[in-house]
Structures are given as C-alpha cells and as structure tokens.
Amino acid sequence: MGLEGVVLNPGVYLVTDPQLCGTRGVLETVRSAVDGGIEMVQIRDKNARAVDLSEVVMRTADAVGDRAMVLVSDLTQLNGRRIATSYDGLLRRYLADRDIDASVVRLDGAVESAVRLGVADAVADVVSTGTTLRASGLETFGDPILYSEAVLIGRSESEQPAGLDVLQRRIQGVLVAQQYVMMDYDVHVDLADAACNMTPGLESPTVSPLRDRQWVAVRSMVRRQETNKIMDDLYELGARAILVSSIHACRI
C-alpha cells in the first residue's frame, strides 16, 4: 500500500537517484539531461533530511531555470492536502507518526479516480503492479505505508468446516496459474521429441496430429518467467506458430 499523486505529462522526464548519479552528482546529471531536452525533473532521495533535500531542489531549480519543471517526492508536500483512501484509520496513524497535517477523504471504491474528479490531491491505495494507477495518471512516491499479504488461517484442533478443501484448491489453482502460461506450437514429427523435452509440462505435453501428417501440434504449460527463452529455443529447433496464452485458474 502506498501514496500516489498527480503526474503531469511532459513526455520523457528524469527521476534522480543520488547513488546512480555517482561522482557526477545530482545537479550535473540534471543539467545535462535538461540540455538534452528533458522537460521535467523529479528529485528523489528517501535518505535525505528535509533541509538537505530542499537545498538540492533549490539549487536544481536555479540551474535549469524555466527550461524544465522541478518536482520533489517528499511527504512534507502532503501538508494541507487532501488524501483519498479506503483505509482511513491506517493512513491517519501513518500521517500522525510523521507530523503530516493532511485531510483524509474516505472512499469505498475507485480511489484512483479521486484526483481526476477533484475529490483529492493524492490517494493512498493498495498497489500491486501499478498499472491501474498509471492509467489514471498517477505515480507512487515515498516509502510504502505497509506491506501486506493474504493468509488463510484455521485452528488445527478444530473440525474442518465444509467446503474448506474446495476453497484451498481454488486458491492454490489461482496461485499456480499466475506462475504458468499455456504454450501451443506446431513442429515436425522428427523434432517432436526434442521439442517436448523443452516443454515437458506438468505430467506430459499434449501432442495432436495435424492434417499434414508430417507435423504435430503441441500444447504444454511452461513457467511464465521462462516463456521468451523457450519460445526462442523452439523457434531455433524448427517449431512454428508458437502461441502463448494466460491461464486464469487451474486444478493441479
């Protein structure tokens, strides 16, 4: 769960990192980037004190003048702002612990739309990939408010309630499906064994004859993170019509 705020759309912009800037320094890195056409610079340094960060921002703004907009990712900029969230109690404690004086707006859904609708200046919401937030013109900033995970808890000494085993299989099926994709491809019969060795699946790949008896169609589950390498290896082997599709749920 993290904080998100409005992001302008100037095209390509620079986000600074003191460690990546190295001996060149943030100021010189920003100056070179703006000379190259960058129109927005976002100053980030989560380890800097507020006074030090402010000095970097002022020096950067003086260096680039009106050629680029300079922003800062710092929680102090939330003072006096409205923050929309579905987790108002958690957010209030987080802000109070950091002496941030902001108004919390509780929403029960579509929190990412609050900024565009003028309801809030920033939002605090659960973030996984961040795709939905970016589609709404938002970007995360600051450290996460907390890390969370879903956990299924039960009493070991109590009787298992009806339907629990079905629920567990369904949850496990979704978790497994997120780790795999379904891969389909055509391959010459002489190369089928070699291809199947690359895509062994869980028990065994499905091999089906095609109209041209010299070719077969193969279907197999492969690990998502290995998809591109396996596709390249199959193509080099001679497989064609290689397709990949997502798996939404399964029972293993």
Rounded CA-CA distance 186/204 in Å is 16
Residue 177: enclosing H or E segment and its boundaries? helix 164-179
| Residues 11, 102 within the same domain | yes
| Residues 122, 236 within the same domain | no
**Local confidence pLDDT in tens for the 252 residues of the chain:** 655 554 444 456 777 777 777 787 888 888 888 877 777 776 776 666 655 666 777 777 787 777 877 766 566 677 788 999 999 999 999 888 877 888 999 998 888 888 888 888 889 988 777 777 777 777 777 678 888 888 888 777 778 888 888 988 999 899 899 999 999 999 999 999 999 999 999 999 999 999 999 999 999 999 999 999 999 999 999 999 999 999 998 888
The domain of 188 spans 175-246
Q: How many domains does the chain have?
A: 2
Give domain status of residue 159, yes or no: no
Give domain status of residue 65, yes or no: yes
| Residues 8, 133 within the same domain | yes
Give domain status of residue 162, yes or no: no
pTM assigned to the model: 0.50
Give domain status of residue 251, yes or no: no
